[in-house]
Amino acid sequence: MLHTRLTICLGISTVLSAVACTEPSPTPSHIVSRIPRQRIESSAIAKVGYSKRRHILEIEFVNGAVYRYLDVSATVYRDLITAESKALFYDSSVKRHYRSVLIRSRQKERASMESTE
């Protein structure tokens, strides 16, 4: 009886450890954005949105890709919106500076993926 309980406990412990060690998907398919985005003048960026409450910056690129950047201050958002070159500001101050999540892939990639299904 003790041996059976010990075996069950070890099995449960192994399963819980395996679940705890798995990493979340870098591009979860269940993310739905409710952050409104405004059009901006840029060669690379089509629209930008920001949540003051959640400190989330969303950028929609001209190729159709949408990325969500986490823990972005309102100052960075304001500086992006007012930058003379939004693309240069993005490259120097946002890209690789904040954790990001892909919300939507490039339109070209999506079209080719849909045609192969």
Domain assignment present for 3: no
Per the structure, the count of domains in the chain is 1
Whole-number pLDDT of residue 34: 83
Rounded CA gap, 48 and 36, in Å?
Answer: 8
* Average pLDDT of the residues in 27-51: 84
Calculate the average pLDDT of the chain.
78
pLDDT tier, 107 (very low <50, low <70, confident <90, very high otherwise): confident
pLDDT tier, 33 (very low <50, low <70, confident <90, very high otherwise): confident
Contact 58, 37 (CB under 8 A): yes
Domain membership of residue 47 as a residue range: 37-116
Domain assignment present for 68: yes
Contacts of 14 (CB under 8 A, 6+ apart): none
